[in-house]
Each structure stands twice: as C-alpha cells, then as structure tokens.
Structure 1
Amino acid sequence: MTEHAPSAPGKVRPPLARDLVKAVAIEHGVCIRPVAMRRTDLSTGETQIVNLPCGHTLASVCPPCAERKRKIRATQCREGWHLEDEPVIVRADPDDEQRFWMEKRAEVQAHAEKTEAAGQDASELRELLGEINGELTRTGVVGRIPTEVPDRPKRSTKRRQDVPDLPRRPVSSRTVGKVYTAPDGKTFRPSLFVTLTLDSYGRVKTDGTPVDPATYDYRRAARDALHFSKLVDRFVQNLRRFVGYDVQYFAAVEPQRRLAPHLHMAIRGTISRAELRQVAAATYTQVWWPPTDTVIYSGAHLPYWDHRERTYLDPDTHQPLMSWEDAVATLDDEEAEPLHVGRFGRQIDAKGIMAGSPDSNRCIGYITKYLIKDIAECHEQGTPAQTDHADRLLDALRHEPCSPACANWLRYGIQPKSAKPGMTPGYCKNKAHRREYLGYAGRRVLVSRKWSGKTMADHKADRKNWVLARLAEAGVSATGHPTEPGRYAWELAPPDHPDVGPIEQRLMTAIAERLEMRRQLDQATAKTDLSATQEAA
C-alpha cells in the first residue's frame, strides 16, 4: 500500500462545490438563503414551489439581499433629499380584511379591559391583541394602536435649569427648503448633511479605546446607547418647533470607533449652523425610571416566580416584590430625579449639499454604507485593547435595565412590567444586551413620513416597473413568476416537500434565471440605444 505524502504547509485546496455555487450566486446577486413557498393558483388549483429571496438586511447573512436593500435605501434617500414640490401622500380606503381585523381588535380590547377591571389575569388577551396588530400590519395598515394605556405619571413639564431655553414657533405644513437667489440671478435650493454625536465619557485614542479605562464612564455610555433613539426623536421635535416648518430627514445610526452611537442625517432644506447648535444644546431626554443605585438581589439569592400568584416573591420573606407601577409612582415626588439625562455633545458637523452634485452622491453612499452591517461590525475590534473596550461596555450593559419589562429590574427589587416566569437578572433576552448591538436596539434607518412620499415597497416596485418598461419598449418578452394580486395563495413549503430540492439545486436554478433576466435586459438596452441613435441621425 502506497503512503501519500502529507500536504505541503500553506497549500491551497480546491473549493467545495457548495461554496462555489454560493460564490457564483453572490456574484450574480442571487439570494443564498431562498425561502421555498408553495403557491396555489386560486383559479386553476395548480400548485408550484417558488423560491423567494430571504430579504435579510445584513451582509453577514445574505450579501445579495442586503445589498439590494441598501440600494433601495439609497434611492429613497436620493429621491426625498432635494424635493422642490411638496410630496403628495394618498391613503387608500380600508378594505374588508382590514375592517374585519379592526372589529376583532375592538372586541378583544373590550374583553381585556373588563377582565382586568374584575381583577383577573388578562395576559393572554393582551398577547392576542399583539397578534391582531400584527395581522393589521400584514394587511398594509400603517401605524399601531397600543394594547394598553401607557403608564405616565404626571410630572412638571418645566425645562431643566441646566439647559438653554429654546424659542417655540408654530409649525407650518411646509416640508421643502427655501429657494435662494445668487447675485447673478441663478436660483438654488440647498439641503444639509448633519452629524450628531454624544458627549465624551473620557479621553480616547485614535483606535477608539480609552486612554484610562478605569476612569472611562462606561455606565453613562451604556445608558446613552440604550436611550439614544429617544434623544434623536426629541431633537427632531425641537428642530421643527424652532425653525417653524415640518423638517424632513433621512438618518442612519452607526457607532463611532469608541462604540458610542452617532447620527448621520440628511435634512431637506437648509438651517444655519448656529441654529443647529442651539437646538442640539437645548435638546435632552429624561428617563423617569426607578433608581438602580442599590443592588438587592444577586448571585444565587434571587426572587422566584410564584405560579399561583403570577408574580415574583422575595426568597426570604416570600412577599411579592414592588410592582413596576408602584415603583414608578414613587417618582411623583417633586424632589425625585430622573434615572438618566441624555444629551448630545458639543461636536456638530453640518455641510450644505446641492442636488445632483458629487457631494450629494458621496453623502448618500456614506449614510447607507453601514446599513448592511450590525452595529458591532461597523468597526472591527481587531486589537486586544478594542476587544477589551467592547467587553467593558457589554459588562456595563449586562445589568442595566433596557426597558420597563427588562429582567434586570429584579436585581433592584422591582417587578418587571408584564413579568413572566424564567426571568433572570443579567440574562435579559432583549437584543440591546447582545454584543452585535452594543446597547442600541432601535431602528438603524430613521425616515420622516413625508420624505419621498413613498414607502420601501413603493421604491421596490419602481425598480421592478423600470425594468419591465425597458423590456416592453424593446419588445422583449420578460420571463419570471407572475404576481397578479389576489390570484394566488401562498404558504411556507415544508422542508421535506419533494419539489423543494437541496439548496445547491435551488441556487443553480436561481442563477440560471438571473442570467436569463440579465440577457433580456441587455438585449432591451441594446435595442433602445440603437433606436435612440437612429432617431438622432
């Protein structure tokens, strides 16, 4: 028997077939995680397995789908940034399905309120309300109706004394920017690209790590990240009230090298830098939550769940913990202080941008660059110092309450809102505590309602309609799956369905379809260009 010599160190081996298929799929923009759906033609009863794109927004999961989403976002940003006319938004009349779910919503809501008024548990009804809200969203209803009245204790609305006052003006319905006239008579309508950052937590090096980790304020950094979205909302409110018109924006949240979130914001129209600094300096958000200075339960000494009372009890006295509502009610005292006050830092960058300029395209690419990555992926943590910095921030986030329903409230002797069994301090399942989010669990893209007058679905349909129109102009017959509304019923195909097939086979089929679609589009483009050349001649 002949012995084979061991492979030479560093020798590159041939690729695996499955890896090659994925690489080719990514190269041609084909989803590498297709979802097999069973489509039934309601008129003929014919069924067919159709592979739909997964639609994931992260490149680490599916690069083609993430890139497709990013391009649609870039189009959305471009179309709304320099509008010259007010966007027209037309709302459709409710259909029968939407009316049906809203009636069910009202019936379950009334039943839940009667159950709670009788002192009985209505948690299942509240969960059902959430499911009905999901059905309403599925049918295209925009906005959500809360499942319960928010618990907001009455407090003074007087502004804090440590922030400057901010004049308030009536907000007009105007959304487009002002037109300016140059000395030579030319008119122009500039817009803005603004970057807002949080305050300093301590000096940092060029790689974002603290100069002195022992004095770096990780606790404030964690709380600022958890409540950053509230601060951004307050800034937009203050800005609109200050300038006196309905400011429209397209914004993206990403972390700095020090791992603190900051905001890139494309604003329609122009506002002076002095006014932006004034609004940012006067903007703050107060988190009126119970104090977390004293740790009551830790380690193995933790409250336990009582299934009969459906509440957490003290392990020593066996008495129920203070409810969230009672804990918040203690803050009605005039001497009470908020748990956290969030503010922006002094550094504000604002740049005027003209429509169609290279700067405009560059900023659109920059603002959408990191949307296909997790917060933690935006800046690689390659050095031991960067990894240690992220670990310290995560350690501060581990026991920091992220919401009224966070399990960490048990650590401070407070019953979490809507408590349920299995909650353990330090192990909250909210994504804000995960490494890939670094405390910020809000939306990565923030778009005002009157930005472009279109939804993401509208922008996606525009791309599809452009391709179909291009093919029709050239007389090319497009192939693909018909999508007439109301004609088909869709359901998820089981993995063991005989027509689903292995993933490699499905990817090969999708690659072939994509190559045929590209061939058709190239053919249509060539015909259109030839016709244009002949007309010009």
Structure 2
Amino acid sequence: MTIEDRGTSRASRVRPPLAREVVEAVAVEHGVCIRPVVLKRVDLESGKVEIIDAPCGATLESRCPSCAKRAKQLRVAQCREGWHLDHEPVTERADPDEYQRWLMEKRADAQAWREQAAKAGQDTADFDALIVELEEELAKTGVRGAVLPGSATVAKRKRSTRRRQDAPDLPRRKVENRTVGRTFTAPDGKVYRPSLFLTLTCDSYGKVKADGTPVDPAGYDYRRAARDAIHFPKLIDRFVQNLRRVAGYDVQYFATVEPQRRLAPHVHMAVRGTLPRAEVKAVAAATYHQVWWPPCDRVVFDGEHLPVWGGDEVGYLDPATGEVLPTWDQALDALDQDEHAEPLHVVRFGPQADIKGILSGTPDADRALRYLAKYLTKSLSDCHEPDNDDQRAHLARLVEALRYEPCSPTCANWLRYGVQPKNARAGLRPGHCKGKAHKAEHLGYAGRRVLVSRKWSGKTLREHAHDRRAWVLEQLGLSATGDDQATPEPRRFSWLPVAPGDPAVPPITHRLLRAVADRSRWRTAVQRAQARADGQPTQDLSATADLREVA
C-alpha cells in the first residue's frame, strides 16, 4: 500500500461533522451565542409577541466561546480605562433610570400583596420568592443595598487585632482622599504618572519539577495547599487593606486570579499609582489571614460510622452514644473560651513577589493587559491541562485533599470532625459538599476570578457595556435618545419565559443561522459607516435602520 493509499484510508475513517456542529462553528466565527436563552417579549401597546434569543452571558469558553470572548473584551476595556487615570473618577450616585424605577414599582406591588396575604392568613412563600427575584434584578442593574434591612443582625465575634509575633509591623500613614497616583517630572520637563503590575503567589508546599509536579509527592503538603487555596480570597483582601494603609491614599486595583503550573492560585494585580518596590514587598511579607475555625485535624466520624439526623430541633447525633453534636456556635464559643487556642490555619503569600512599573500607552502596558486576561475564558483546571501521568496524579491528590477539607461554616465536612455545620439540615454527608471549592475545575479557589475596586473607573461593568453599545450606535449614525431611540421604554414590554417544546420557537439551528445573518449585516453596516466617516467610497447604508440591537 502506497503512502497516498494509507492517507486516503485514514481520511476515510474520519466521520464528517454533523450539520449542527457546522452551524455552531459558523456562529462562533461570527460572535453569535450558541446557547441563547429563549424569551417571549410581549408589546403591551400593540399586543405583538416576539421570540427573542438573549445571550447566555457565559464567561467560560467551554460553555459559549462567543459570550466568553465578549466578556473578556469587556474586562480588558474596563482594566485599560481605569489603570492610568489622571483625574478622580466620578463616584456620585447616579439618578435611578427608568428600568430601575419600574422594578422598584413592581417591588412595592409585591410587598403590598404579601402584606395582604399575611393579614388573610394565606401562604406568602410565592410573594417572598418574587420579592427576592426583584431584589436580585435590582442588584444586577447596579442598585446597591437592600430595600428593607434584615430583621435581625448577628453580633460579630471579636478577635484580637494584635499582630502576630511572627509578622513584622508596617508603617501606617494618614490616608488621603485621592485614588490617582503621584506624578514624576523628568529633567527634560516631561511628566510621568506610573502605575504598578504585581504578581503574588502562595508559599511553597515542597519542591516541584518544571512541569509543576512535586519532587517528593509523599512529602508535599497537600493539606496546606488545599487550605491556602480555599482562603486565598481573604488573603487578597488583607493585602489591599494593608497596602492602602502604607500607601497613604485609596489604592485602586484590577486583579485576576489564576493557577500556577503547580495548581496553587496566584494573583495578578494592576494598581493605579506607584509605590517603592521595597514597601510593596514588605506589605506582602507582612500580610496574613488567620482562620478561626474549630479544629479539623482529627477525624471523628468516617465510613459508615456517620452522624445521624435527629430532627430540626436537635440536629445531628453521635450514632454510637446518641449525644447531640456541638453546634457551630457552640464550637466557636469553646474556641473563644480557650485562652491557649490557636487559629486553625494561617495563610500567607510566598516570598516571591514580582513588581513592575508600568507607563500608559507603552508596549509593557499592552502586554500586562493581555496577561491579566489570558485565562479569563478558561476554568482554573483548564489553564494548565495535564500532559503526563505525574500531572494527572498531582491533580488527583489535590482534589482528594480538598474533598474532606471544610470550605465554609456551612460545609457538610464538619460532621466528619464532630461539629454540626452552621444552619445544619438533613441529608448532609461528609465528602459530598456541593461547594465550588471541592470541584476539580476550581482547584479549591471558590472566589471571584476578577477583583475590581469600586473606584477603579467610576463605572460598573454594565456601564462599560453600555459605552460599547453607544460607540456602535454612533458609528451607525443612530441615537440612543429621541425619535430613533435605540433602547425601548421598559414599561412597554413584558418578558416571559418560554416553556420547553413551545411550538412557536424555531429549532436552535434555524435561530443560530438567522443570528449569523444578522451579525454579518450589522458588521457590514459598521464597516461602511466607518469607511464613510473616513471619506472612503462606500455603498448605500440601507441596512442601518435594522441595527438597533447591534450592541
């Protein structure tokens, strides 16, 4: 058999793609969401009913590459806009928009209906769920705070604020009311306003090879690695607090968290303004977070010998003696009363701290932006996919260490160590907690992947998205106000979910193809508008009138 025959034989064994796979590939190429949420929009004035495909909004490429790419681009724009500001961002409270006022009116109606039902002795569960849904939607629009305060406040446990003896003290300066950094004037009179790019890592748990696997797996401290990953978000918060106290101004930051090749989390942070590198390193070395939780180093219940549920009034019982296990609050009370108690865990940064000065508009700034967003569309476990058996075994050992490590006060794993979790309920089983930290794709880190300070750019992520939309409308010669208003009046429409199998909904392939055609028409219209603005010859922009949803 010739080489050509072998190649032909091999190609004949490759199955051709399915039609839907081809449609999805074309949709991704044109930036169309491949997992759209189907909604029914009812025009309350005309009675017209339309089927609308809303983007799923996924941030992971494995779920929807198009939505993940848009989310990544939006984060890059947010980082770029706030990093090198030379003026204080506007942080005044904005006036409520039409949609927010409309939601609040619905919230008022729901509250009135609930009160009427309560007076009549009726079940108020449905109204409570509606109120929660409206509160969540208000929060998504940027409204901060709840409409009504909580019915009861839980007193916080007070811990000593005295610094640990093994942590150096830090200078504390009076914090100025500013967020922009200092300027520096060169001998030639040119003024510079540098900022910082930081990379902070976890401590070492044992020597590792170039591929991130431990040299001695038996001596590698997987328990400490698991606990550091779980509590890493708190360590970042402490670092920012300490940095602001030392810097003497309200330091603003944009940070992303990703794993190293050894699977430990580390943080990249864009910081507005600059500080001496020695001070930043001192802050990182002096930053720690103490976890004051009950002890969980000795296994009390395991295998089939697990606590049993005794009812809502009792909680969990020892299966051998029938004794009630201490509740979460009782375990913390015992910890408070012990004068010699030590924190369960102390998480710190490792000795390596990479600190670079960055100037706006330089190649270094562009590289840092790409580095910050490099893995935003991937889950933590996909950032460094295992290439060999050693890496796969290393990942399996870390996941096993995370399986029984308590991830929060409500974690079911506390039963393994003889303590009832906070807000205990029936059906809890150690090793089966549904928290994100225990899942392999999160590698123990359950916090947000992107951390942005409130005064970074003076805008919410939603407002940055509106800016992108406004730019497209401007390119097309459309206005967001006036007769050709691009944003419809929210009171005019009612949005309803669509039941599965609704005959009014076309097949997904049909909807994707229609979306691809719309995107192609929109992109062509934008290109023509830009060519027209540059004075280049262009064809008639007849498609512009159909582009109100382009952004």
TM-score (ref. length: structure 1) = 0.89
Q: Does 1:374 align with 2:375?
A: no
Aligned to 2:446: 441
Q: 1:310 to 1:164 in 2, by over 3 A?
A: same
Aligned to 2:57: 55
Q: How far has the Cα of 1:105 moved from its partner? A: 8.8
Q: How far has the Cα of 1:525 moved from its partner? A: 1.2
- Which whole-Å CA distance do the structure 2 matches of 1:286 and 1:129 have between them? 37
Asked whether the equivalents of residues 110 and 130 of structure 2 are also in contact (C-alpha less than 8 Å), the reply is no
- Which whole-Å CA distance do the structure 2 matches of 1:419 and 1:124 have between them? 24
Q: Aligned to 2:189, which of 181, 185, 192? A: 185
Aligned to 2:345: 340
Asked whether the equivalents of residues 290 and 328 of structure 1 are also in contact (C-alpha less than 8 Å), the reply is yes
Q: How far has the Cα of 1:8 moved from its partner? A: 3.2
Q: Does 1:204 align with 2:208?
A: yes
Q: How far has the Cα of 1:82 moved from its partner? A: 0.3
- Which whole-Å CA distance do the structure 1 matches of 2:490 and 2:109 have between them? 24
- Which whole-Å CA distance do the structure 2 matches of 1:106 and 1:486 have between them? 20
- Which whole-Å CA distance do the structure 1 matches of 2:150 and 2:236 have between them? 22
Q: Does 1:303 align with 2:304?
A: no
Letter in 1 for 2:44: L
Q: Does 1:420 align with 2:425?
A: yes
Deviates more, 1:317-326 or 1:124-133: 124-133
Unaligned runs of 5+ in 2: 1-7, 115-124, 539-551
- Which whole-Å CA distance do the structure 2 matches of 1:482 and 1:312 have between them? 54
Q: Does 1:525 align with 2:527?
A: no
Q: How far has the Cα of 1:93 moved from its partner? A: 4.8
- Which whole-Å CA distance do the structure 1 matches of 2:411 and 2:91 have between them? 38
- Which whole-Å CA distance do the structure 2 matches of 1:105 and 1:326 have between them? 36
Q: Does 1:501 align with 2:538?
A: no
Aligned to 2:363: 358
Aligned to 2:545: none
Letter in 1 for 2:464: H
Determine helix, strand or coil for the equivalent of 1:486: helix
Q: 1:130 to 1:170 in 2, by over 3 A?
A: farther
Deviates more, 1:267-276 or 1:480-489: 480-489
- Which whole-Å CA distance do the structure 2 matches of 1:443 and 1:161 have between them? 31
Aligned to 1:465: 470
Letter in 2 for 1:434: K
Q: How far has the Cα of 1:148 moved from its partner? A: 5.5
Q: How far has the Cα of 1:51 moved from its partner? A: 0.8
Determine helix, strand or coil for the equivalent of 1:192: strand
- Which whole-Å CA distance do the structure 1 matches of 2:233 and 2:20 have between them? 41
Q: 1:472 to 1:124 in 2, by over 3 A?
A: closer
Asked whether the equivalents of residues 261 and 384 of structure 2 are also in contact (C-alpha less than 8 Å), the reply is yes
- Which whole-Å CA distance do the structure 1 matches of 2:76 and 2:112 have between them? 39
Q: 1:470 to 1:481 in 2, by over 3 A?
A: closer
TM-score (ref. length: structure 2) = 0.87
- Which whole-Å CA distance do the structure 2 matches of 1:132 and 1:164 have between them? 47
Q: 1:532 to 1:164 in 2, by over 3 A?
A: farther
- Which whole-Å CA distance do the structure 2 matches of 1:329 and 1:128 have between them? 37
Residues 130-162 of structure 1 deviation map (CA, whole Å, 9 limit, x = unaligned)? 667535424542256677634632322111000
Q: How far has the Cα of 1:61 moved from its partner? A: 0.6
Q: Does 1:163 align with 2:164?
A: no
- Which whole-Å CA distance do the structure 2 matches of 1:253 and 1:398 have between them? 22
- Which whole-Å CA distance do the structure 2 matches of 1:409 and 1:169 have between them? 41
- Which whole-Å CA distance do the structure 1 matches of 2:183 and 2:537 have between them? 36
Q: How far has the Cα of 1:532 moved from its partner? A: 11
Asked whether the equivalents of residues 202 and 349 of structure 2 are also in contact (C-alpha less than 8 Å), the reply is yes
- Which whole-Å CA distance do the structure 1 matches of 2:49 and 2:129 have between them? 34
Q: 1:106 to 1:275 in 2, by over 3 A?
A: farther
Q: How far has the Cα of 1:15 moved from its partner? A: 2.0
Residues 298-349 of structure 1 deviation map (CA, whole Å, 9 limit, x = unaligned)? 1011111123525112212223210000101112122110000010111000
Q: How far has the Cα of 1:99 moved from its partner? A: 7.8
Identity score, percent: 58
Determine helix, strand or coil for the equivalent of 2:491: coil
Q: Aligned to 1:399, which of 387, 391, 404? A: 404
Aligned to 2:122: none
Q: Aligned to 1:294, which of 282, 295, 298? A: 298
Q: Aligned to 1:91, which of 83, 90, 93? A: 93
Q: Does 1:454 align with 2:450?
A: no
Residues 117-142 of structure 1 deviation map (CA, whole Å, 9 limit, x = unaligned)? xxxxxx99999996675354245422
Determine helix, strand or coil for the equivalent of 2:535: helix
Q: How far has the Cα of 1:368 moved from its partner? A: 0.6
Q: Does 1:267 align with 2:271?
A: yes
- Which whole-Å CA distance do the structure 2 matches of 1:344 and 1:289 have between them? 20
Letter in 1 for 2:82: G
Aligned to 1:120: none
- Which whole-Å CA distance do the structure 2 matches of 1:21 and 1:457 have between them? 30
Q: Does 1:254 align with 2:255?
A: no
Q: How far has the Cα of 1:481 moved from its partner? A: 8.3
Q: 1:245 to 1:97 in 2, by over 3 A?
A: same
Asked whether the equivalents of residues 196 and 347 of structure 1 are also in contact (C-alpha less than 8 Å), the reply is yes
Unaligned runs of 5+ in 1: 1-6, 109-122
Q: How many equivalent residue pairs? A: 510
Residues 6-63 of structure 1 deviation map (CA, whole Å, 9 limit, x = unaligned)? x934533332211110110011111111111100112222111011111100000100
Aligned to 1:8: 9
Q: CA RMSD in A?
A: 2.8
Q: How far has the Cα of 1:440 moved from its partner? A: 0.1
Q: Does 1:390 align with 2:395?
A: yes
Asked whether the equivalents of residues 312 and 425 of structure 2 are also in contact (C-alpha less than 8 Å), the reply is no
- Which whole-Å CA distance do the structure 1 matches of 2:370 and 2:10 have between them? 42
Q: 1:150 to 1:204 in 2, by over 3 A?
A: farther
Asked whether the equivalents of residues 129 and 147 of structure 1 are also in contact (C-alpha less than 8 Å), the reply is no
Determine helix, strand or coil for the equivalent of 2:477: helix
Asked whether the equivalents of residues 151 and 325 of structure 1 are also in contact (C-alpha less than 8 Å), the reply is no
Asked whether the equivalents of residues 404 and 417 of structure 1 are also in contact (C-alpha less than 8 Å), the reply is yes
Asked whether the equivalents of residues 153 and 328 of structure 1 are also in contact (C-alpha less than 8 Å), the reply is no
